[in-house]
Amino acid sequence: MVDAGVADALAAFGARHADVASARERAPEPAFEVYAENWDAVQVFSALSTQWRMAAFSGFGAARLVHTGLDYSAIEPVYRLIGIGRDRRAAIFQQIRVMEEAALDALLPE
C-alpha cells in the first residue's frame, strides 16, 4: 500500500519529484463509514484483495497487466472463514459484483 510514509521515504532517498508526487496522490483516503447492511460484503471483498485475475498484454516494447475480475472460486472459502451463513451468500455475492465493477473501472489502465 502506498501511504504518506512511503512517499516520505521516496523523497528521503532522492526519488524523482514526479514519483514522490505520484505516491502522494495514491495515498488512501481517510476512513469512511460502511452501513451495517454492507459490512459483510465489504469484509468479503477486502479478504479477496489478493484474488484478482489478470491478463498480460504486450506490444511494441510495452507490456502491461490488466485486471479482469475476481477469482470467484475463492469466494466460497472466504464466506466459510468469515462465517457468512448460506442464506446470505447470494445477496452478498451481488454486492461483491457491484464493488468489483467499480474497482475494475478504477483499475483500468490509462
Predicted confidence (pLDDT) per residue in 77-93, tens digit:
999 999 999 999 999 99
Asked if 75 and 48 touch (Cβ cutoff 8 Å), the reply is: yes
Pairs from 98-104 (Cβ < 8 Å, separation ≥ 24): 99/41, 99/42, 99/45, 100/45, 100/69, 100/70, 103/67, 104/67, 104/68, 104/69
Q: Does the pTM of the predicted model rise above 0.75?
A: no
Q: How many CA atoms lie within 13 A of 110 on its CB side?
A: 0
Region of poorest pLDDT, from 29-33, 75-79, 95-99, 103-107: 29-33
